[in-house]
Amino acid sequence: MINLHNVTKIYENGSQALKNVSVDIEKGEFVFIVGSSGSGKSTFLKMLLKEVDPTSGKILIDGEDIADITRKEIPFLRRKMGVVFQDFRLLPSKTVYENIAFAMQVVEATPREIRRNVPAVISMVGLSRKARAYPNQLSGGEQQRVALARAIINKPPILLADEPTGNLDPDTAWEIINLLKDINTRGTTVIVATHAKEIVDAMQKRVISLKKGVVLRDVKEGGYSDEI
């Protein structure tokens, strides 16, 4: 489903974010991308979204080399991916319902589809009683649940999460991770960039460890590892 072949990314300032990274991620996998700050985790995700392009190497998604995608086609590539960020990125002037519905409006879903699907996803993330609340009326964990609901409302086959528990207390972080696990069991490929060692160690999912842009380890079932 996702294939990186000898991917290197060097930014204009000379900083090398990734070096000769080759990774294959299959449909339905749950993968942690781990490493210290500056290891290349965020660049890895940004390249999948085509927010940045590799300096060399190839990235294929569903067999298509995304280097060949035109600017007009980028939004259609991104429709294959839901994205969750550490800082939530909710629209402050919209309610929980409206934030999630907006993601459907962008892809021109019908009002009927929105009325049917949004309440179901709100219920799935446990926020039915907060549907009319605004982001500033929610806790951090609740805001991240909204962000997660917004990311999956259009049923993307891939979900990317960049430090999704970074601003949350441990108990709330686990609630978000368990939601990600549930989404994965429904068939979605989940890729989580994180430095949350305890979560990674407990989950025992596939772990790709980066250090200074190089893949240090890639294990099918493993922990964070103190090596990084």
Instruction: Determine the pLDDT at residue 85.
Output: 86
- Is a pLDDT exceeding 60 seen at residue 15? yes
The proportion of the chain whose per-residue pLDDT surpasses 90, expressed as a percent, equals 86
For 195, the 3-state DSSP assignment is: coil
Average pLDDT over residues 57-84: 92
Please tell me which residue, 228 or 160, carries the higher pLDDT value.
160
pLDDT at position 228: 52
Per-residue pLDDT at 224: 86
The residue extents of the domains of the chain are 94-155
User: Residue 39 is encoded by which pair of tokens?
Assistant: 């290891």
For the chain, report the end-to-end CA distance as a whole number of angstroms: 27
Spatial distance between the Cα atoms of 118 and 131, rounded to a whole number of angstroms: 10
How far apart CA 17 and CA 182 sit, in angstroms, is 31
- Radius of gyration for the chain, computed over Cα atoms and rounded to the nearest angstrom: 17
CA distance 100 to 162: 19
Q: What is the mean pLDDT of the chain?
A: 94
- How is residue 157 annotated by DSSP? S
Mean pLDDT of 112-128: 96
DSSP 94-155: S-HHHHHHHHHHHTT--HHHHHHHHHHHHHHTT-GGGTT--GGGS-HHHHHHHHHHHHHTT-
pLDDT at 38: 86
Tell whether pTM > 0.75: yes
pLDDT greater than 70 at residue 227: no
Closest CA to 120 of 159, 83, 96, 149: 149
Please say if the pLDDT value at position 191 is more than 80: yes
